[in-house]
């Protein structure tokens, strides 16, 4: 591996070096480790937005080598989901990643990650039980198989990158909880950092799937954040039930029927109906036009009157 790939580069004009194979990635990381450098890792499926870039910047501020993966993982998409039409723009992503501070981008083909094809996998990494059987993991929704696909690919990437720190966004709150549990249970030597959701000026959580929204649906989608704000205000003033009802009213005004709108313990994802001493997540998922969107708000006990 050319050591120049690990040196600082003029990120404003030159895209981050892109690696296509596991051997290239391992060689680059091994070189950094031999030099005693810390490794920060940002896994993405691409079509980068400011949420992704905030993770890269955080990694840049803390770590010597910043690795970003760019891989649309087929094992986390169910039948009828948007695997084939998921937005992609590699050239743009490489430039943005470099400008934000990525040193290397791992952008493999599917066959490099899954040599027998993504349908030929014999070994999965799976977090079972409450964490993956509710909300998006409910069998009537994306199902626990979605999270099995996530944890399997993240475990593979952790093995390849060997990061000291890995960065995820709060918007995918359930995913973050599941990955924390996987790391704890399997003793991965990596610190998980979950950073706040990045929003558009009108409050819509940034998501690659926002690209699916037309102008009218884009405006309607802002109701998700308003609903979560209403849920937090209502929970502070009158309890969780009051907060959830206020959120439902806000969604109804925009003509949105939520797939789910629930209050859950922020660590165990058990359903909660009272504000106690532990942080609480209020989570929402809804189909808005052609896009299935998710969002959440984290309510800390110190924020509750």
Active site residues: 52
Contacts of 172 (CB under 8 A, 6+ apart): 294
* CA gap 187, 49 in Å, rounded: 31
Asked if 104 contacts 30 with a C-beta cutoff of 8 angstroms, the reply is: no
Asked if 105 contacts 175 with a C-beta cutoff of 8 angstroms, the reply is: no
* CA gap 249, 252 in Å, rounded: 5
Q: Three-class SS of residue 71?
A: coil
* CA gap 3, 29 in Å, rounded: 11
DSSP string, 179-241: HHHHHHHHT-S-EEEEEPPPB-TTSPBP-GGGGG--HHHHHHHTHHHHHHHHHHHHHHHH-HH
């Amino acid at each position: 591996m050319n050591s120049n790939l690990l040196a600082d580069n003029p990120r404003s004009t030159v895209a981050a070096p892109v690696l296509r194979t596991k051997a290239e990635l391992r060689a680059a990381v091994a070189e950094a480790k031999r030099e005693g450098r810390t490794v920060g890792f940002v896994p993405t499926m691409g079509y980068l937005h400011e949420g992704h870039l905030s993770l890269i910047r955080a990694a840049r501020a803390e770590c010597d080598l910043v690795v970003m993966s760019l891989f649309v993982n087929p094992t986390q998409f169910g039948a009828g989901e948007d695997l084939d039409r998921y937005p992609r723009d590699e050239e743009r992503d490489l430039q943005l990643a470099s400008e934000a501070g990525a040193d290397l981008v791992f952008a493999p083909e599917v066959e490099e990650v899954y040599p027998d094809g993504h349908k030929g996998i014999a070994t999965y990494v799976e977090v079972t039980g409450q964490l993956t059987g509710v909300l998006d993991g409910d069998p009537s929704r994306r199902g626990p198989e979605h999270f099995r696909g996530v944890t399997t690919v993240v475990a593979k990437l952790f093995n390849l990158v060997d990061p000291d720190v890995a960065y995820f966004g709060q918007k995918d709150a359930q995913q973050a909880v599941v990955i924390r549990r996987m790391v704890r249970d399997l003793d991965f030597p990596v610190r998980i950092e979950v950073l706040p959701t990045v929003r558009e000026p009108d409050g819509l959580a940034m998501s690659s799937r926002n690209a699916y929204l037309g102008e009218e649906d884009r405006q309607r989608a802002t109701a998700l954040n308003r609903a979560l704000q209403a849920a937090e205000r209502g929970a502070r003033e009158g309890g969780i039930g009051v907060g959830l009802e206020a959120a439902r009213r806000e969604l109804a005004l925009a003509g949105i029927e939520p797939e789910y709108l629930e209050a859950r313990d922020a660590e165990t994802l058990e359903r909660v109906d009272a504000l106690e001493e532990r942080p609480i997540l209020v989570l929402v998922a809804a189909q808005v036009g052609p896009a299935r969107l998710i969002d959440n708000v984290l309510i800390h006990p110190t924020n509750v009157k």
